[in-house]
Amino acid sequence: MDPTPKLRMTTQRQVIMEELRKVKTHPTAGELCQMVRERLPRISLGTVYRNLDILSRSGLIQKIDVAGQEMRFDGDIRDHYHLRCLDCGRVVDVEMELLQGLDEQVAAESGWDIFGHRLEFVGSCGDCRSQRTVN
Amino acid sequence: MDPTPKLRMTTQRQVIMEELRKVKTHPTAGELCQMVRERLPRISLGTVYRNLDILSRSGLIQKIDVAGQEMRFDGDIRDHYHLRCLDCGRVVDVEMELLQGLDEQVAAESGWDIFGHRLEFVGSCGDCRSQRTVN
DNA sequence: GTTGGTGCAAACGGTTTGCATTTAC
DNA sequence: GTAAATGCAAACCGTTTGCACCAAC
């Protein structure tokens, strides 16, 4: 059965977590791999993916699969919402209270078990907007 | 510059729209291709993708890129929220009022232009839940 | 010493694209 | 007749996986 194989804290895993916690940019696996390579030049992208998967399953980081985009990762495990720029793709946190009662409302209406919700705002960040008005 | 090439209503495009509007299941491109092939056996998946892209850009259908999943398409173009089953992947509509004022609130807080938001509930549908309790 | 982890490269799967041919207008 | 659309197959790209070697415990 092998219920929960015990995690080993390897150098790679350690550094991946540290680098991810260091930034607020919600990097993709590839971006994070680049960051980690500054300290561990021989780390492979496959290892980064494997660790990001394990760490998010363990609840140590968050996988934020932003709609229709490359997967991104967040060292901040508190539940919060995101805002995505349609022009440059960057993702930032939204400072906003969590919406209360919605999950219960949808559970009652649908008859499903509701685990939670994902709210994502889409727009254009200041930088991209000003570039667009130039054109 | 070629600002907006004029759309031709081909048989393929017509049938793709008809089949998509016929169902409430938010099919993937592959699923829709299968459905369309009942009527046009020689249609290619590439054509389906191209048409889905064109139709959604034209606002005739909706692309619902559910986070981290295969892309799905919706013949219903009214703004509405979705509910996804984590076990079987199906996506259904949520009967719920649109949340008012959130976009303005986030725009004010962030300084971005906000185009809208996407709200997606995740849970387990009745079928999958009952299967799980069996195990 | 055991077993989980790593690096590498190949495979995978959804999506996009190049191109010669067909079709709507 | 012309430009847009099609079918086909290959390319693309993010992600996963198989495997031999390595390292945490």
CB pairs under 8 A between A and B: 117
Predicted confidence (pLDDT) per residue in B49-105, tens digit: 999 999 999 999 999 887 677 899 999 999 999 998 888 888 999 989 999 999 999
CA A90/CA B52 separation, integer angstroms: 26
B50 in contact with nucleic chain C (CB within 7 A): yes
Q: Which residues of chain A are under the pLDDT cut of 70?
A: 1-5, 68, 130-135
The pLDDT of residue B2 is 52
Q: Which of B121, B130, B22 is nearest to B76 (CA)?
A: B22
Q: List, in order, residues 6 or more apart from B57 with CB less than 8 Å away.
A: none
CB atoms within 10 A of CB A111: 10
- Give tens-digit pLDDT for B24-35: 999 999 999 999
Please report the sign of the dihedral spanned by the C-alpha atoms of residue B38, residue B44, residue B47, residue B52: positive
Across the interface, do A99 and B99 touch by the CB < 8 Å criterion?
yes
B9 CA: nearest nucleotide by C1': C24
Residue type at A56?
Answer: S
Q: Name the pTM for this structure.
A: 0.87
Domains of chain A: 1-75 (1.10.10.10), 78-135 (3.30.1490.190)
> Within an 8 Å CB–CB cutoff, is residue A133 touching chain B?
no
Q: Is strand D in 7 Å reach of the CB of B12? A: yes
Q: Across the interface, do B110 and A122 touch by the CB < 8 Å criterion?
A: no
Return the DSSP state at B82: E
- Classify strands B113-124 and A113-124 as parallel, antiparallel or unpaired: antiparallel
Least CB–CB distance from B126: residue in A92, A102, A112: A112
